[in-house]
A and B are shown apart, each in its own frame.
Chain A
Amino acid sequence: MKIYFAHIMLIFWKDVVLELRTREIFISVLVFSLLIILTFNLGLDNIPGTIPTVSAGILWIAIIYGSVIAMNRTYSTEIESGAINRILLSPTSRDAFFFGKVLSNMALMILLEVILLPTMIVLYDLKVSIAEMALVSLLVILAISLVGTLFSAIAVKTRAKEVMLPILLLPILAPVLISAVEVTSSIIVGQTILDNQRWISLIVVFDAIFLVISPALFTLIVAE
């Protein structure tokens, strides 16, 4: 078990080092997500009363679309360099590799949200409980990372991989996104997580299901 977690962390740290060195993914994702927020801000500025209602949706649209760009590149370094063959030839289990990649995607999305949320708060003049937002965001980001890391392994084998990932990902993530927007909206209008137990439960169940089935499906995908 110690080796299993060591391999997960090894994959994760390797991705962190590669990203710090190349800055290939994060900068483009951040700029894209900030542009979404700014565009909506400009578009909605003159419509009074709409901001509190739609800002939760804008935040999660910016995060999910930014994530799609990032997750399209999840396995690209391994596949372009051929290093995937060395990983598959090592005694590392396939699901340790998968969870390492999930962790990398999660870290990137957390960093993205750490920048996007304060930007939203300033631009849209929001008042939110940071602790409650952090908890909701962690649950939602886990769900997006699990499903995104799995489906990018499927999409990377297809010819139109950039288009394929959002087509596969967004319908599956619909329940989580709806829940995320509902909970975030209520946090913005001053309610607490306890007032949204139904939505939170839905996200937790989604996380639990995909925590179990994603590594198993990933092992099948990379079997040959």
Chain B
Amino acid sequence: MVINDFKYMIRVDTLYKSYGIIPVIKKLDLKVNAGELVIINGSNGSGKTTLHLLLSSLIKPDSGNIEISGINVGDSPKIARSHIGYVAHDPFLYPSLTVRENLNFFAKLHNISYEDINQIFENNDLLKLLGISDRLDTLVSILSHGYKKRAGIACSLIHNPSVLLLDEPETGLDSNGVMALMDMVGFLTNINKSILMTTHTDLSKFNVEYTHYILKNGQLI
């Protein structure tokens, strides 16, 4: 179901998810505006990754409601997914394909035209910002972990999603990589993308504005 007049890019109401008898997310509420960066901290096992998986529709909640760009994820997961970019711990790329081939493949799965894909490769600020413009024709298997991660981030952004879910994206990146990542986050919020990011890194040294939550006992505080 598409809601034409929506206020929040991410809206979560009374979300509940348990694994067996162990509740992980308990009646969680969250609202993220357009262009807003939300940072979520939490100890290991607090449910950060589960929250990302729920928002990205990779797993289903036991109860509660999730809307992404006004689209109910439960009712129209296929449409909602086209608005989501998800960056996980691992890059999720085919190691035997080059960075360009990976980007090409996933862009086509998102129904991006051949001309638009070429334009992305020829002149794209994000590829330059991530520092992978000169590694497009390198096999993913021979890239360092940091560059694999950068290529994975580029792949998550290839379809120009309005909402970006970053699950500890700084894992495996060196200080330059983290700097490039935070520059990218700043760049994306400036162009009105909404970002939900879980991290263990202290972001106070970076020049970005954000709303901060802690995930504890399945709820945001």
Contact = CB atoms under 8 A, between A and B. Distances in A.
A22 B95 CA distance: 10
B101 to A, nearest CB: 7
Given A85-B58, A91-B78, A18 B109 contact: no
Given A90-B81, A91-B79, A10 B96 contact: no
B6 interface: no
Interface stretch (B36-44, B83-91, B169-177): B83-91
B94 A77 contact: yes
B92 interface: yes
A81 interface: yes
Given A89-B86, A224-B59, A17 B97 contact: yes
Interface string A60-101: 000000000000000001000111011111111100000000
Contact of A91 (B86, B88, B91, B109): B109
B111 interface: yes
Tell me if A's interface is mostly helix, strand, loop or mixed.
helix
B155 interface: yes
Contact of A86 (B59, B96, B106, B111): B106
Contact of A14 (B58, B94, B111, B159): B94
Interface string A9-23: 010001001100110
B46 interface: no
B81 A18 contact: no
Contacts, number: 67
A42 interface: no
A74 B203 CA distance: 42
Interface residues of A, number: 24
Nearest to A88: B58
Contacts of A87: 109
B60 interface: yes
Contact of A83 (B58, B86, B93): B93
Given A81-B93, A83-B93, A83-B94, A90 B110 contact: yes
Interface of A: 3, 6-7, 10, 14, 17-18, 21-22, 77, 81-83, 85-93, 223-224
Given A10-B105, A85-B86, A89-B81, 13 more contacts: A6-B108, A7-B108, A7-B109, A10-B109, A14-B94, A14-B105, A17-B97, A17-B101, A81-B93, A83-B92, A89-B56, A91-B109, A91-B110
